[in-house]
Amino acid sequence: MSSSVGGGEGPSVPDVFDPRRYATGVPYDDYRVLRDHHPVSWQREPEVLGWPAGPGFWAVARHADVVRVLKDPGTYSSCLGATQIRDPDPEDLPFIRRMMLNQDPPEHGRLRRVVSRAFTPGRIERFEAVVRQRARTLFARALETAREGDGTVDLVAAVTDEYALLNLADLLGVPDGDRGLLLHWTRRVIGYQDPDEAGPPVRDEQGRPVDPRSPAMLRDMFEYARQLAAYKRRNPADDVMTALARDPEPAEGELEMFFFLLTIAGNDTVRSAAPGGLLALAQHPVACALLRAGKVPADTAVDELLRWHPPVLTFRRTAACDTELGGRRIRKGDKVVVLHASANRDERAFAAPDRLDLGRTPNPQLSFGDGPHICLGAHFARLQLRTLYAQAPDLEPAGPAERLVSNFINGIKSLPMSVR
């Protein structure tokens, strides 16, 4: 049974669980209330969008507490209940635990080393010229679309979705004709809370929604991964899937899990971060001018834009033992959810956190996590974002951004811009 919620002074605990809230923007005002008055708060988990109610969870809002959770896998486990807020079907949990994202040391470290041998900085850097030309081409096409129409273009449809997709496909070694599959799978898994992205939930014979991480829902992706690996063994190339397919260390089924993780996380990190960064630059023309003039380092600017618009909003851990965090008693088995977006605006870690400062240093933003699970593809993501922002034309918002219905991914589905 989950821990009870005590009383306390100050405002009541705001709800930051309901995924529908995020369709109107990240609730930064509520995050501030949590940080100031309820740094570790109990959140209800009612039935919403057709998905069943859950037992509730502890939401961790302050930067220091988020770091503490992420760096202590012995106390806060990724394996016990996996890493999404909603509990998986108990029958699916053993399968989900085979994914590196849902493992604890030492097993997590072994799998991470396998992927790291394929995901080398050298291999990633060799893509830089291709990535630069791709950004240039996509923006040129967007400019042409704007000129032929009313002067505006949806940057998600015209630039950022395709940019992230094609870059990942190049790195993995996915043939041109199959690249649309990566976006299809990403939308199905990441956008499952948003009916526009994934459609109505797939239901089982009892009428219950089927988890997008379940074996049944991933069967087509895994079959494709096996076929691609077999092809790469016969036709090796300088790409990540060749390296993984020829590595003798992964156990049965692990290669398919690697493909799932790289496809979903590798695609959606940049797919979510890129439009958020471009929107921030368009809304802050003075900061954008400094970046264009070379008056702030590109890497520093990328870190600040990631702090401003983190692609991942939350990650879950499960308490492996009774513990205490932020003055609250947490019991073994309780869900503990870190709020990356709240930590990135914590006044205790950042001066003037609600001001975009592309030259901010130091910048301990947590958009790529921390601890043993820190994002394996952070170097590749930074390269893509740095290149994209450098190639961007003059942009001006031409309407509100349409945001993903999700308490997990800080996604933008549509971003109308005037382009010059």
DSSP string, 175-203: -GGGHHHHHHHHHHHHTTT-HHHH-SPPB
Average pLDDT, integer, range 112-136: 87
Would residue 13 count as lying in a domain?
no
Would residue 2 count as lying in a domain?
no
Would residue 1 count as lying in a domain?
no
Helix boundaries (H) for 355-415 = 378-391
Cβ burial 373-397 (10 Å sphere, 16+ → b, else e):
bebbbeebbbbbbbbbbbbbeebee
Distance CA 216, CA 95 (A): 11
pLDDT tens by residue, 294-345: 999 999 999 999 999 999 999 999 999 999 999 999 999 999 999 999 999 9
Would residue 69 count as lying in a domain?
yes
Average pLDDT, integer, range 253-268: 87
Kindly state the DSSP code that residue 371 receives in the 8-state scheme: G
Q: Given pLDDT bands bounded at 50, 70 and 90, which one contains residue 407?
A: very high
Whether the pLDDT of residue 2 is over 80: the answer is no
Q: What is the pLDDT of residue 114?
A: 83
Average pLDDT, integer, range 234-261: 84
Q: In terms of Cα–Cα distance, which of 151, 134, 135 is closest to 417? A: 151
Structure tokens at 223: 């079959």
Whether the pLDDT of residue 9 is over 70: the answer is no
Would residue 4 count as lying in a domain?
no
pLDDT tens by residue, 200-219: 677 877 777 788 878 888 89
Q: What is the pLDDT of residue 3?
A: 38
Structure tokens at 353: 């956190």
The pairing of beta strand 57-60 with beta strand 335-339? parallel
- Cis upstream peptide for 106 (omega within 30°): yes
Whether the pLDDT of residue 414 is over 60: the answer is yes
Give the pTM: 0.93
Q: What is the pLDDT of residue 7?
A: 43
Cβ burial 197-229 (10 Å sphere, 16+ → b, else e):
bbeebbeeeeeebebbbbeebbeebbebbeebb
Would residue 307 count as lying in a domain?
yes
* Residue percentage of the chain with pLDDT more than 70: 96
Cβ burial 400-413 (10 Å sphere, 16+ → b, else e):
ebebbbbbbbbbbb
Q: In terms of Cα–Cα distance, which of 78, 77, 33 is closest to 347? A: 33
Q: Given pLDDT bands bounded at 50, 70 and 90, which one contains residue 250?
A: low
Whether the pLDDT of residue 6 is over 50: the answer is no
CATH number for 184: 1.10.630.10
Q: What is the pLDDT of residue 139?
A: 97
Q: Is 342 helix (H, G, I), strand (E, B) or coil?
A: helix
Q: What is the pLDDT of residue 301?
A: 98
Q: Which residues span the domain enclosing 336?
A: 19-419
For 43, the enclosing helix (H) or strand (E) is strand 40-43
pLDDT tens by residue, 18-57: 999 999 999 999 999 999 999 999 999 999 877 889 999 9
Q: What's the mean pLDDT when you consider all of the chain?
A: 91
Whether the pLDDT of residue 354 is over 80: the answer is yes
Would residue 193 count as lying in a domain?
yes
Average pLDDT, integer, range 80-98: 90
User: Per DSSP, what are the bridge partners of residue 257?
Assistant: none
Would residue 10 count as lying in a domain?
no
| Overall domain count for the chain | 1
Q: What is the pLDDT of residue 10?
A: 76
Give CA separation, 61 vs 287, 342, 354, in Å. 28, 6, 16
